[in-house]
Copies of this chain bind each other. A is one copy, B any other.
Amino acid sequence: MFSDSLGAGAQRVAAHFDAMTADMADLPVIHAMRYAVVGGKGLRGWLVLEGARLHDVSEDRALWPACAIEAIHAYSLVHDDLPCMDDDDLRRGQPTVHRKWDEATAVLAGDALQALGFELVSDPRCHPSAEVRADLTLSLARASGARGMVLGQALDMAAETAGTPLTLEQITTLQAGKTGALITWSALAGTRLAQADLAPLTAYADRLGLAFQIADDILDVEGDAKTVGKAVGKDKGRGKATFVSLLGLDAAKARADQLVTEACDALAPYGSRADTLREAARFVISRRN
């Protein structure tokens, strides 16, 4: 079952993270790094493991990019939660890093997590081919930087400052960066390890990433804070345009459904071996947190 597979994957990624950071100093920043990575759903790391499995790449290798993307994702959440950004006290039902420690620790832990992400994918133990490692590194830098995730965040910030709600097209671009870029990288890492054709999983992941964000917007309206593990109703409170505010709740749900169907169809070349990825896509729009 998908949820079991997800949980087991997250545990193996967490164990790899612990092994990779075991030699680091006994300091608050290092503890905060672990706190930020461990305890998440681990969807991105799981996508890496699953994409690798689909290409018969051993999990010993896949754990490196899986751990890398969880480190990068965790850094983005730690910085996003800062008072000067989203100012969140809770994440996954637990105090955010700057609440549990302090802001300086949160800034540094995030910075170190980003560096760790790049360290993991350029380590020779990740893959014997330097071509593969350089490819993973370059694509990760592009996906997470000012042409990918940070671009999405910067567009989000600019929209908030401007006070003009975004159009559907603008929100789609914004989210393709903010959430989509890392999800797509995750789904493709296994293909990169195998040096195989990127097209099928690119089509899958682009749709999955967008469906994921629409589901997030729906949760912000329909979820309750306790189950979601963070504050809800924030978008409406801020008068922020979302997929729900632009499409309406029913049309947003229909759009997410359609994207999931398309994502599953894109996996046709892999046949039934990709059933767990199909289940993951359906999970993404039915989740409660």
A→B interface (CB under 8 Å) = 21, 23-25, 27-30, 33, 75-76, 79, 82, 84-85, 102-105, 107-108, 110-112, 114-116, 118-119, 122-124, 129-131, 133-135, 137-138, 140-142, 144-147, 150-151, 153-155, 157-158
Contacts and interface: CB of A to CB of B under 8 A. Distances in A.
B111 A79 contact: yes
A129 B129 CA distance: 11
A23 B142 CA distance: 13
Contacts of A111: 75-76, 79, 110-111, 114, 150
Contacts of A116: 141, 145-146
Contacts of A133: 130, 134, 137
30 contacts: A27-B154, A28-B157, A29-B146, A29-B150, A30-B146, A82-B103, A84-B102, A105-B157, A107-B107, A108-B150, A111-B111, A111-B114, A111-B150, A112-B145, A114-B115, A115-B141, A115-B144, A116-B146, A118-B118, A119-B138, A122-B122, A122-B134, A122-B141, A124-B138, A129-B130, A130-B130, A133-B134, A134-B134, A134-B137, A137-B137
Given A122-B138, A133-B134, A112 B30 contact: no
A84 B101 CA distance: 12
Q: How many copies does the complex hold?
A: 2
Contacts of A153: 29, 108
A122 B115 CA distance: 14
A141 B157 contact: no
A103 B119 contact: no
A11 to B, nearest CB: 23
A157 B29 contact: yes
A150 B30 CA distance: 10
Contact of A131 (B114, B119, B130, B150): B130
A102 B84 CA distance: 8
